[in-house]
């Protein structure tokens, strides 16, 4: 499935103008949990992007041998939540200064990356990176690249946090990211 086909298939109800950003910032469970709570996000899908395996699966991607990043495709209504807020939340809820690492998650599958669908997205992504750099002491290493094929992850990875909030990873890793999102973006979060 191409990224464009994915976007059209997973879009908002007809008549609604939506935008989809594909973002990678460590384990996709984290970004999935944050964006599912953003007012105006109409769909969040975890998946794999940017590698060479024709049909990547979770264990294969976790091995670091496919070149894919764990990512989310966030479809949102820009009339409800501005694109800049979606992007600022991305830079606030992961460490964009560490190449191929987010905390204990290490490997290219956990890289910080933004996958643009068109030139306006590319410009918006660069502007967000520049805007966010002032918050970080180290240089941001987030990749900004054209989106290749996005592979939807297995069903058990969709809304992982919502279905498993008691899991250790959720309590120790995701809860602090949600708390940070609430601290800085409470007006945009649903809970």
Which residue among 27, 30, 62, 170 is the active-site one?
A: 27
Those residues whose C-beta lies under 8 Å from the C-beta of residue 170, and which sit 6 or more positions away, are 29, 33, 160, 161, 164
**E-assigned strand segments in 100-162:** 101-102, 105-106, 112-116, 143-146, 150-152
Those residues whose C-beta lies under 8 Å from the C-beta of residue 149, and which sit 6 or more positions away, are 1, 2, 3, 49
Distances (CA, A) of 47 to 27, 56, 69, 93, 164: 10, 9, 8, 18, 18
Sheet hosting strand 143-146, strand order edge to edge: 143-146, 112-116, 19-25, 69-76, 41-49, 150-152
Q: Is 27 a catalytic residue?
A: yes
Supply 127's token pair. 């502007």
Residues noted as catalytic: 27
């Amino acid at each position: 499935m191409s990224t464009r086909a994915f976007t059209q298939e997973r879009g908002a109800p007809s008549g609604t103008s939506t935008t989809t950003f594909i973002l990678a910032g460590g384990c996709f469970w984290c970004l999935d949990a944050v964006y599912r709570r953003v007012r105006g996000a109409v769909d969040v899908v975890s998946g794999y992007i940017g590698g060479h395996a024709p049909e990547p699966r979770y264990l294969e991607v976790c091995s670091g041998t496919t070149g894919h990043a764990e990512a989310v495709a966030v479809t949102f209504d820009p009339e409800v939540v501005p694109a800049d807020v979606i992007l600022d939340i991305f830079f606030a809820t992961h460490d964009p200064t560490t190449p191929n690492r987010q905390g204990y998650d290490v490997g290219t599958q956990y890289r910080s990356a933004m996958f643009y669908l068109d030139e306006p997205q590319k410009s918006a992504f660069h502007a967000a990176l520049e805007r966010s750099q002032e918050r970080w002491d180290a240089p941001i290493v987030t990749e900004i690249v054209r989106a290749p094929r996005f592979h939807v992850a297995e069903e058990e990875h969709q809304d992982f946090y919502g279905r498993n909030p008691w899991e250790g990873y959720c309590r120790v890793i995701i809860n602090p990211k949600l708390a940070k999102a609430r601290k800085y973006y409470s007006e945009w979060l649903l809970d």
